[in-house]
Chains A and B, each alone.
Chain A
Amino acid sequence: MSRNAKINALLLFVVAALAVLPLALGLGDHKEEPFSGADAEAETAITEIEPDYEPWFSPLYEPPSGEIESALFALQAALGAGVLAYYFGLHRGRRQGELRALAQQDTAASTTSVPSSKASTSSRSTENSEDSRGSGSSGSPQGSASASVPSAPERT
């Protein structure tokens, strides 16, 4: 494990610890409803301060059960996580492709361009990529890979 990976693991570990400790230490035990949402607690506080306050508008759609609500929350998290993972995966693939292209250039003593069959097996050339389903690379591999900025796909 590299130093980098260790630090990243440590960051995530501390985040996890911060989340688990209140549960493990039973910090919610003094409450009637331990670990309820702060938003709901604020509603309670409002009704304490102004007992006769009536919400003048109700949500257009309310999840019919806690299950549906948690499903939608999971959907929200999954959408976000999916996009993040796509981003990092794409960039990792691009970097690997660049490194591979560079390595190929180094090994190829001749100045001939890479045969297309090989190019299609290497993940991606340094040139722009349409999408993960795009038809791979086009054109000859260029030199300075680090400087080229690939254009983003249409979809986000």
Chain B
Amino acid sequence: MHIAEGFLPPAHAIAWSVASAPFVVHGVRSLTREVKEHPESTLLLGASGAFTFVLSALKLPSVTGSCSHPTGTGLGAILFRPPVMAVLGTITLLFQALLLAHGGLTTLGANVFSMAVVGPWAGYAVYRLLRRFDVPLMVTVFFGAFVADLSTYCVTSVQLALAFPDPSSGFLGALGKFGSIFAVTQLPLAVSEGLLTVFVMRLLTQSSKGELTRLGVLVTGGRKRAGAGADAETEAVAR
């Protein structure tokens, strides 16, 4: 999903930066408000950012014979709502752009838009939707993280197809090309990310019940049992 430095035409680079900026600004506001109102959240915020750091550093082999990495943005989006992830995701992307030559400053806007804006929002939307239908928590977490990961890579494919339409088959042809590189490769990784997010969320339900309840992830009185994790498991294996 990292569009390499200089690989978006200037107009596109500027447009995506303009599109991402308000989300990041709004995210900084929500983040500072969260820390001010609930200083006890700071650690968990740090842990959410850390999760993104770990996962986006893990390059995993995929069925297509290439490697890609998860994003880790689903967890924070579910815990703290997506705006916060716009900031945490941007920090991760900046780290990679500046130190690893992975992604870049000119493509930061586009990469932020896919990984730190659309991914978290899409994952969060799926999570909220499933929660409405009384789906067990861990299943909603799995699909939230799964969608956050996969949608990120779909957006990247669209961004590249818009910038580089195929001379013969146009935008759709290019979308197919980039989609097969990114989205297909990402499918098993999105499953992995879903499972890892469920794993961390299970640890959190054991260690930080009070905080998860305050954040509305755990409903008071609503038991969260291991069975749901197993459900997500079988779902994932079945896929």
Residues on A close to B: CB < 8 A?
A: 3-4, 7-8, 10-12, 14-15, 18-19, 21-23, 27-31, 34-39, 41-43, 45-46, 49-50, 53, 55-63, 69, 72-74, 76-77, 79-84, 87-88, 90-92, 95, 146-147, 149-153, 156
Contacts and interface: CB of A to CB of B under 8 A. Distances in A.
Interface string B57-91: 11111111111100000000000000000000000
Contacts of B64: 27
Given A23-B61, A76-B56, A153-B42, 10 more contacts: A19-B61, A19-B192, A28-B65, A63-B101, A72-B99, A76-B54, A79-B53, A149-B40, A151-B40, A152-B43
Given A61-B99, A73-B100, A95 B5 contact: no
Nearest to A50: B164
A3 B57 contact: no
A42 B178 contact: yes
A15 B60 CA distance: 10
B156 to A, nearest CB: 8
Nearest to A24: B61
A38 to B, nearest CB: 4
B238 to A, nearest CB: 12
Contacts of A37: 59, 66-68
A8 B202 contact: yes
Nearest to B185: A38
B203 interface: yes
Given A61-B101, A84-B50, A7 B202 contact: yes
A67 to B, nearest CB: 13
B210 A149 contact: yes
Given A14-B236, A73-B100, A29 B65 contact: yes
B43 A53 contact: no
B192 to A, nearest CB: 5
A91 B164 contact: no
Contacts of B174: 49
Contacts of A59: 5, 97, 101, 104
